[in-house]
């Protein structure tokens, strides 16, 4: 008896299933993302339902007590310090790691360098579904790693890959570049669809767990910035990394958003060169390298990325707008957060931004998400509005509330130590907590504490700020 063929319609953005084709997905609000998939379904056995026919056929599982000795997860260090920092000080055997990023950002370059470094001590296989072996060899020669004993293969059929890896002499590290090119013959849908991505990843991860090798999957990123395919793919793996960067900048950021074996929100900084990716041991100095002295509309923010303090320049431009609705453009920060800061400055401090275009940029292609950048953004906005520069040797950090109060942030001492190391002599900060006051006097830079945005305006001069802002608004 032939198996029934069942059609279903699956959203390629979120993986939700629909009974028929529609142009709009109600789950994720995506348009034109629903694709028909054909899945063979086995006929019921003996007239029983599938759940009834499977009852009593499984094998009992092994149950153990929570208390007991368990060996810790061993780590395989790559020797690339920035990569090891992000993944939690090395790869764990039997783990699955997913790395996503825009096309051409350097995902394949990074993983080829990682496998080349690991191949000196362990057996590594690099399987590509997008490039031929000769193409990978050319890239390895450009990266000066062609002499490393990395095993190469090109394949897209998951069954063939499983047959190659499911052996006693299994490899220690396997790279799949990319998961969107893989397919299983049991599904009728095309490679890259939700069903194929989910099924292919599931089979590869199951084998990695059983055989105990580290699996690294490359995932493409959609125009919205999410890894192409269902979000369930991110739940299936142990670690999710995003490789970020602007095409116009040589900096690349490797960011951890999920890690079962280490800290999340950790970042590694790389610089793209003609010989591949090189590590950046002091990213603060690199992000501030092209800073142009005392310029109005610029401030230095002392932030925390993961466990690492990092200084970055924030630039703002406030200019009279010829439009009825002024522009608000943001690069590297939350646009809703900018609107909130502008509203607080107008309502609590009397500054007028309503008739001006406002542009905000985080220099270097870094994206900041922590609210500790509020005070630095406010300082850059006021500086651009009145045309007065911030002191060149001053850092700024602090969170702003809706009433205009400046709230404390975590790891203030680490931020100040990083600024001191780079030669800064002044800091504009929220009031320290009682715990942090004991270390404040040991710092080698002058710390100015403010509790309200009025204190920030006082640093520029109260009368000068109000006169210049009003004059610029009406002029």
Is the model's pLDDT at 51 over the cut of 90? no
* One domain, residues 369 and 450: yes
Domain final residue pick, 236, 255, 281 = 281
Does any domain span residue 52?
A: no
Rounded Cα distance, 238 and 444, in Å: 42
Contact 344, 402 (CB under 8 A): yes
> What rounded mean pLDDT belongs to the chain?
85
Domain that holds residue 22: 4-44
Q: Which of 291, 269, 294 is nearest to 280 (CA)?
A: 269
User: In sequence order, which ranges of 40-127 are alpha helices (DSSP H)?
Assistant: 50-53, 81-87, 107-118
Residues 250, 278: contact at Cβ < 8 Å? Answer: no
Residues 275 and 378 in one domain: no
Answer for the pair 111, 177: CB distance below 8 angstroms, yes or no. yes
Q: Is the pLDDT of residue 91 over 80?
A: yes
Same domain flag for 199 and 297? no
The percentage of the chain sitting over the pLDDT mark of 90, rounded to a whole number, equals: 49
pLDDT band for 406, please (50, 70, 90 cuts): very high
Residues 236 and 92 in one domain: yes
**For residue 59, is it within any domain?**
no
Percent of the residues in the chain that have a pLDDT greater than 70, as a whole number: 85
Looking at the fold, whether 201 and 346 belong to one and the same domain comes out as no
| Confidence band for 40, pLDDT divided at 50, 70 and 90 | low
Query: Does residue 237 lie within any of the structural domains?
Result: yes
**What residues contact residue 286 under an 8 Å CB cut-off, 6+ apart?**
251, 269, 271, 280, 364
How many structural domains are present in the chain? 3
* Pairing of β 446-450 and β 426-430: parallel
Query: For residue 170, is pLDDT > 80?
Result: yes
What is the pLDDT confidence band of residue 33, given thresholds at 50, 70 and 90? confident
- Does the residue 382 lie in any domain? yes
């Amino acid at each position: 008896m032939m198996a029934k063929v069942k059609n279903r319609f699956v959203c390629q953005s979120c993986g939700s299933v629909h009974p028929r084709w529609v142009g709009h997905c109600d789950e994720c609000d995506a348009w034109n993302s629903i694709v028909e998939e054909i899945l063979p379904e086995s006929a019921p056995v003996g007239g029983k339902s599938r759940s009834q026919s499977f009852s009593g056929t499984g094998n009992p599982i092994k149950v153990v007590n929570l208390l007991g000795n368990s060996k810790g997860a061993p780590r395989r260090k790559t020797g690339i310090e920035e990569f090891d920092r992000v993944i939690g000080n090395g790869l764990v055997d039997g783990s699955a790691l997913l790395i996503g990023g825009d096309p051409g950002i350097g995902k394949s370059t990074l993983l080829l360098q990682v496998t080349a470094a690991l191949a000196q001590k362990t057996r590594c296989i690099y399987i590509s579904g997008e490039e031929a072996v000769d193409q990978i060899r050319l890239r390895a020669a450009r990266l000066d790693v062609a002499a490393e004993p990395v095993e190469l293969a090109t394949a897209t059929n998951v069954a063939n890959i499983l047959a190659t890896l499911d052996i006693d002499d299994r490899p220690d590290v396997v790279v799949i570049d990319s998961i969107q090119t893989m397919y299983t013959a049991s599904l009728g849908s095309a490679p890259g669809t939700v069903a194929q991505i989910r099924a292919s990843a599931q089979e590869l991860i199951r084998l990695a767990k059983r055989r105990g090798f580290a699996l690294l999957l490359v995932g493409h990123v959609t125009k919205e910035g999410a890894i192409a395919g269902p979000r369930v793919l991110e739940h299936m793996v142990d670690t999710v990394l995003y490789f970020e960067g602007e095409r116009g900048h040589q900096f690349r950021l490797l960011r951890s958003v999920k890690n079962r074996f280490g800290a999340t929100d950790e970042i590694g900084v790389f610089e793209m060169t003609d010989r591949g990716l090189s590590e950046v041991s002091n990213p603060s100095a690199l992000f501030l390298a092209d800073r142009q002295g005392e310029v109005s509309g610029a401030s230095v923010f002392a932030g925390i990325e993961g466990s690492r303090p990092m200084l970055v320049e924030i630039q703002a431009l406030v200019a009279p707008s010829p439009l009825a609705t002024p522009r608000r453009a943001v690069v590297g920060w939350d646009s809703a957060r900018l609107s909130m800061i502008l509203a607080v400055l107008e309502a609590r401090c009397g500054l007028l931004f309503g008739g001006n275009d406002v542009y905000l940029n985080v220099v270097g292609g870094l994206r900041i998400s922590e609210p500790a950048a509020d005070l630095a953004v406010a300082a850059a906005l006021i500086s651009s509005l009145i045309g007065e520069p911030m002191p060149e040797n001053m850092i700024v950090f602090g969170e702003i509330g809706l009433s205009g109060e400046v709230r404390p942030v975590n790891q203030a001492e680490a931020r100040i130590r990083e600024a001191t190391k780079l030669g800064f002599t002044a800091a504009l900060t929220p009031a320290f907590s009682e715990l942090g006051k004991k270390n404040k006097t040991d710092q080698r830079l002058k710390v100015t504490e403010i509790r309200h945005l009025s204190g920030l305006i006082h640093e520029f001069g109260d009368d000068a700020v109000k006169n210049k802002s009003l004059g610029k608004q009406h002029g």
